[in-house]
């Protein structure tokens, strides 16, 4: 049975949650209080900052592009920000189409998002590899995020949970929680047709499935992808599991 929707942990970040508690194929569980995922952290309240201290979070792994970080920077006392920059290419593609007077349909927008997730797998593997290696290198709790905590963050969470042995149905459950938790912010979204923006600022199973299809068809499955393009050795994978699984 899948867990219920988590209660909000922070006031100033709507999509912040603990990745712990999920079961694995081996019968173990992902440790709670070790790795958190989130939307951007620029709106944290003083109470939220105190909560960060209580959680012991020492590093924030930030997948946002340069202009995104410039628009909503943050500095959290005691937390080191690590830039794992992946530029939001789907927004640039959409803006280019609109500039040409082309209004994409809902289906075309979904296709653009699927292409974005294939790019995560094939073009951004090095960055996601650095993400997993940073989790390995730092013993303190960590949080990773992008702007909405849905796409770059969603794929990173899927990758981590896959490495820990969580099944894809459970990973998809965690992925889709964004649609219940994330509070859309028009100031961050830019302008575009309502049907397009709805696709861009929510998540759909088809997006994640596109990433899985690329992993399976082009990389021989998740384990080969982790050891190949992601660059995690068998020993590092075992150590990651030792660190982040109970028992």
**Global pTM value:** 0.94
pLDDT above 60 (res 1) = no
Domain ranges in the chain are 17-244
Could you confirm whether 146 is annotated as catalytic? yes
Report in angstroms the alpha-carbon separations of 233 from 153, 223, 230. Answer: 22, 10, 9
* Full DSSP string of 82-123: EE-----HHHHHHHHHHHTT----HHHHHHHHHHHHHHHHHH
Q: Where are the alpha helices (DSSP H) in the chain?
A: 46-55, 66-71, 89-99, 106-123, 125-137, 152-163, 168-176, 178-181, 186-189, 194-200, 205-219, 222-227, 234-244
> Across residues 10-18, what is the average pLDDT?
95
pLDDT in tens, 53-99: 999 999 999 999 999 999 999 999 999 999 999 998 877 777 777 77
Chain segment 151-206, per-residue pLDDT in tens? 999 999 999 999 999 999 999 999 999 999 999 887 777 777 888 888 888 999 99
Class of domain 17-244 as given by CATH:
alpha beta
Q: Is the pLDDT of residue 114 over 90?
A: yes
Which residue is catalytic, options 84, 135, 143, 146? 146
What local confidence, expressed as pLDDT, does residue 240 receive? 98
């Amino acid at each position: 049975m899948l867990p219920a929707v988590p209660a909000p942990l922070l006031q100033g970040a709507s999509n912040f949650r603990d990745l712990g508690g999920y079961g694995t194929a081996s019968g173990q569980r992902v440790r709670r209080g070790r790795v958190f995922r989130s939307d951007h952290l620029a709106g944290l309240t003083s109470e939220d900052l105190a909560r960060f201290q209580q959680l012991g979070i020492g590093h924030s792994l930030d997948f946002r592009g340069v202009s995104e970080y410039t628009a909503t920077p943050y500095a959290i006392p005691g937390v080191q920000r690590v830039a794992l920059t992946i530029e939001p290419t789907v927004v640039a593609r959409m803006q280019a189409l609109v500039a040409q007077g082309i209004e994409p349909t809902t289906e075309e927008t979904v296709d653009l998002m699927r292409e974005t997730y294939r790019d995560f797998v094939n073009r951004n593997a090095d960055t996601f590899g650095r993400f997993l290696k940073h989790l390995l290198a730092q013993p303190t709790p960590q949080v990773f995020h992008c702007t909405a905590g849905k796409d770059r963050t969603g794929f990173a969470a899927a990758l981590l949970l896959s490495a820990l042995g969580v099944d894809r149905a459970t990973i998809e459950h965690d992925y889709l929680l964004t649609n219940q938790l994330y509070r859309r912010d028009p100031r961050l979204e830019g302008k575009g047709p309502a049907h397009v923006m709805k696709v861009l600022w929510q998540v759909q199973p088809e997006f994640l499935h596109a990433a899985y299809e690329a992993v399976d068809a082009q990389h021989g499955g998740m384990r080969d992808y982790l050891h190949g393009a992601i660059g995690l050795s068998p020993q590092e994978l075992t150590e990651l599991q030792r660190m982040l699984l109970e028992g």
